[in-house]
Structure 1
Amino acid sequence: MSSTNSFERQPPLPRDAIISFPGHHVMMVTFNRPKALNAMTSAAQYDLEALFSWYDNEPSLRCAIVTGAGRAFCAGMDLKEWNQTNARRANGEHASQPPMPRSGFGALSRRHGKKPVIAAVNGLAFGGGMEMVANVDLVFAANSAHFALPEAKRGVVALAGSLPRLARTIGRPRAMEMALTGKSITAAEAKDWGLVNAVVEDGTSDCEVLDRPVVKAALCCAAEIVDNSPDSVIISRAGIVAGWEDGSAENASRLLSENWEFALNEGENLHEGVKAFAEKRAPQWVDSKL
């Protein structure tokens, strides 16, 4: 993490992840257990929940990217830890907290949040990794990336939020195929199914994370997002999420207007955007106060 960043409050440092700030107003989180294919422990997920809460409340940040170190994005839950937890339960011990936070696997699979998160999927996105992908806002995938919900092969179920979300995103038949067979799909299939925005070429095996084509694509998208009014981005995202979660376009439109229209109209950025257009200049956005 660069010491040159000036934040209202310094970010919490998560276990098993690296935080960086590779672009103006952009945070990147790199899952960092490459030898374990970035499988996540429960403690690491609670750390990520604290981090993404901080991100949503840090005015200077407007977009986040998540990716994985090594050859995987995330292979899901740490099954060794899960096995140990099962053994403790069999001995009558009780867990002090649920295995994952309220925001779901990796703090993303059920996250509502305020600001956008982009996934740069560099390799395997299995189990919990797939569940995170199902709920982030945009997805870029390397050509060699694969996506799967193999839970049924291990006697468990993808309970972190992806099943109903995938039914909406890729349709019931394809969601059933993934969940009931446990088969993996390629990046090209994922794009064809509407799960990812774009597929890009693979990086070399010794490529630094920031030099990977998939991360560069995510950074280019993030740069386009942060060039826009941060107020407009937050409210536009809220409208899409509301329609996706609720299923009623009219109800989502009503809630969007009731919850956000006054704040948008009273905000500095709306007035700046209109004024900049009239004066034929680039707008100078301020950090969102929403």
Structure 2
Amino acid sequence: MTAEEGARNMTVRPVTGPERWSAPAPVFSGSLLADANTLRAYTAEAEKLLMELPARPGRDPGQQQLAAEVIADQRRVRGAFLELHAERVYHELTGGLREQRSLSELVFAASEAFPGLTPTEAQMAAERECEQADKDGREIDQGIFFHWVLRSSQAGAHLMHAMLRPTRRARSLLGEFDRTGILELGTVRLERVDRAAHITLCNGRFLNAEDNQLVADLETAVDLALLDDRVKVGVLRGGKMTHPRYQGRRVFCAGINLVDLHQGRISFVDFLLRRELGYLHKLIRGIRVDDAWPRPLVEKPWVAAVDTFAIGGGMQMLFAVDHVVAAADSYFSLPAAQEGIVPGMANLRLTALAGGRLSRQVILSGRKLWAREPEARAVCDEVVDPKLMDASVDAAADRLASPAVVPNRHMINLAEEPMDRLRAYAAEFALEQALRLYSADVIDKVDRFSAGASSERRTGSGS
């Protein structure tokens, strides 16, 4: 079947105006070229109707219902197309698996090579101008794309390996770090001290809450620590706060920045998916350096030091390191279920570490684990007096700098989290998290949180 025949085989009934959506779902033939043309024609008709409607905040209930139906129908069609063609699409986008693209490069290349499959850069730029509640949720279409790509054993594995490459930013800064041993990366400080690379989170006004910038800075720092031959072990720790309630105290991480989420500034691709397949995966698996021998992966052990608390994404970081030192007055929590989102790979990793029952208590019911509790031993290795944190962290780093640690951690990680298990989880996570970002309960919760945070700023109180 030719491309023209494929397009003719799809009959789209004319849309009589912004009151109706009557285009029937297309039937795909199994031919990539024909089905791509069918998809393009169908989505073009749908997008034409959407353009006739006001932007989401200005729609009346009937118009919003119509938009929701059109958008949902497009998503079903995109899913059906990718169920048939995800592997072949990925081959096209990567030159037959010869090229390695980042997540954002890949999803925007898909929008150009297969029009209607994923949002264009212009469409995503328009969405970024809106608060979360005012978006049409085009990131869900990106989630559908990555869901089907990661489900493919060939395409998904290639993407997982591609995401282990060092970033361009890290490669450009390697010479400077080699000379100076210290870099200020915006929200992260990287310093080489003897054989250790100390990565300090410095988003002090926001209690080291995670945002797009922190994720990018952390990946750069992790890459540099792994690329530097003089570094034998990495250390993750929170810096001292400028936040009024915790002024001068170290805090590990407060999790996702919910104010940024409310304002539409948390990216699904460049934050939520990139952190899992980027720096968190690199902490476990290392970075991919093609000319390295005997393996293309350069791995190093990692220590995390928890002061005050590790909430949400902060607790998730602990599952990716080899040794956790916690101050005796600190605690860990995963409030994602209360926030309405999925806590990254925590459902996979905490269950492996602590078992299903404790994982349900922490993830589903919001149980807070204090470092002194016996159950917290599933999360941390040492609990020490806060005054002894510096010495305990240094001692742990010295122990893990032993040459035998790297091959043994490599084998433990292979046994504990094989790549295919992570890939299968990531495929489901990509779709579930994208859907949760735009669910009514999440929108309502982050709106209320943002309103409360604004009130606290006006009155000068801390959160």
TM-score by length of 2: 0.44
- The alignment status of 1:60 with 2:230, answered yes or no, reads yes
My pick for the range that moved more, 144-153 or 102-111, is 102-111
Partner of 2:357: 173
Question: What is the CA–CA distance in structure 2 between the aligned matches of 1:125 and 1:105, rounded to whole Å?
Answer: 20
Aligned equivalent of 2:187, options 16, 32, 37 = 16
2:362 is matched by which residue type in structure 1? Answer: M
Contact 1:105 1:131 in 2 (8 A): no
C-alpha displacement at 1:68, in angstroms? 0.9
Structure in which a larger fraction of residues adopt strand: 1
Structure in which a larger fraction of residues adopt helix: 2
Question: What is the CA–CA distance in structure 1 between the aligned matches of 2:366 and 2:270, rounded to whole Å?
Answer: 25
Partner of 1:136: 321
C-alpha displacement at 1:130, in angstroms? 0.7
Where do 5+ consecutive residues of structure 1 fail to align? Answer: 89-94, 204-212, 248-290
2:189 is matched by which residue type in structure 1? Answer: I
Aligned equivalent of 1:221, options 396, 399, 402 = 396
Deviations 1:242-280 (A, max 9, x none): 111139xxxxxxxxxxxxxxxxxxxxxxxxxxxxxxxxx
1:182 is matched by which residue type in structure 2? Answer: G
Counterparts in 2 of 1:180 and 1:166: CA distance versus 1, 3 Å: same
- The alignment status of 1:45 with 2:215, answered yes or no, reads yes
Deviations 1:61-99 (A, max 9, x none): 00011111234210101111111117x9xxxxxx59432
SS in 2 for 1:74: coil
Question: What is the CA–CA distance in structure 2 between the aligned matches of 1:96 and 1:152, rounded to whole Å?
Answer: 17
Question: What is the CA–CA distance in structure 2 between the aligned matches of 1:106 and 1:132, rounded to whole Å?
Answer: 12
Question: What is the CA–CA distance in structure 2 between the aligned matches of 1:123 and 1:241, rounded to whole Å?
Answer: 28
2:280 is matched by which residue type in structure 1? Answer: L
Counterparts in 2 of 1:110 and 1:225: CA distance versus 1, 3 Å: closer
Question: What is the CA–CA distance in structure 1 between the aligned matches of 2:407 and 2:223, rounded to whole Å?
Answer: 17
Question: What is the CA–CA distance in structure 2 between the aligned matches of 1:110 and 1:151, rounded to whole Å?
Answer: 23
Question: What is the CA–CA distance in structure 1 between the aligned matches of 2:189 and 2:377, rounded to whole Å?
Answer: 31
Partner of 2:348: 164
Counterparts in 2 of 1:101 and 1:154: CA distance versus 1, 3 Å: closer
Question: What is the CA–CA distance in structure 2 between the aligned matches of 1:240 and 1:110, rounded to whole Å?
Answer: 15
Question: What is the CA–CA distance in structure 2 between the aligned matches of 1:171 and 1:99, rounded to whole Å?
Answer: 28
SS in 2 for 1:181: coil
Question: What is the CA–CA distance in structure 2 between the aligned matches of 1:35 and 1:138, rounded to whole Å?
Answer: 27
Question: What is the CA–CA distance in structure 1 between the aligned matches of 2:269 and 2:224, rounded to whole Å?
Answer: 21
Question: What is the CA–CA distance in structure 2 between the aligned matches of 1:17 and 1:8, rounded to whole Å?
Answer: 19
Aligned equivalent of 1:73, options 252, 263, 276 = 252
Contact 1:62 1:115 in 2 (8 A): yes
Partner of 2:407: 235
Counterparts in 2 of 1:218 and 1:181: CA distance versus 1, 3 Å: same
Report how many aligned residue pairs link the two structures: 223
C-alpha displacement at 1:148, in angstroms? 0.3
1:234 is matched by which residue type in structure 2? Answer: V
SS in 2 for 1:27: strand
Deviations 1:137-188 (A, max 9, x none): 1101000111000112122221x21111000101110011100111211002
Contact 2:188 2:217 in 1 (8 A): no
Identity of aligned residues (%): 25
Partner of 2:369: 185
Where do 5+ consecutive residues of structure 2 fail to align? Answer: 1-175, 240-248, 287-298, 420-463
RMSD of equivalent CA atoms: 2.8
Question: What is the CA–CA distance in structure 1 between the aligned matches of 2:408 and 2:383, rounded to whole Å?
Answer: 25
Contact 2:311 2:332 in 1 (8 A): yes
Which structure would you say has the larger Rg? 2
Counterparts in 2 of 1:154 and 1:176: CA distance versus 1, 3 Å: same
- The alignment status of 1:199 with 2:390, answered yes or no, reads no
Question: What is the CA–CA distance in structure 2 between the aligned matches of 1:6 and 1:82, rounded to whole Å?
Answer: 33
Aligned equivalent of 1:145, options 330, 337, 349 = 330
SS in 2 for 1:120: strand
1:218 is matched by which residue type in structure 2? Answer: V
Contact 1:140 1:217 in 2 (8 A): yes
TM-score by length of 1: 0.69
My pick for the range that moved more, 9-18 or 126-135, is 9-18
Question: What is the CA–CA distance in structure 1 between the aligned matches of 2:389 and 2:235, rounded to whole Å?
Answer: 11
- The alignment status of 1:84 with 2:84, answered yes or no, reads no
2:224 is matched by which residue type in structure 1? Answer: W
Question: What is the CA–CA distance in structure 1 between the aligned matches of 2:313 and 2:374, rounded to whole Å?
Answer: 16
2:371 is matched by which residue type in structure 1? Answer: A
Question: What is the CA–CA distance in structure 2 between the aligned matches of 1:240 and 1:53, rounded to whole Å?
Answer: 21
Counterparts in 2 of 1:121 and 1:224: CA distance versus 1, 3 Å: same
C-alpha displacement at 1:102, in angstroms? 3.3
Aligned equivalent of 2:302, options 106, 117, 122 = 117
Question: What is the CA–CA distance in structure 2 between the aligned matches of 1:53 and 1:173, rounded to whole Å?
Answer: 35
Partner of 2:422: none
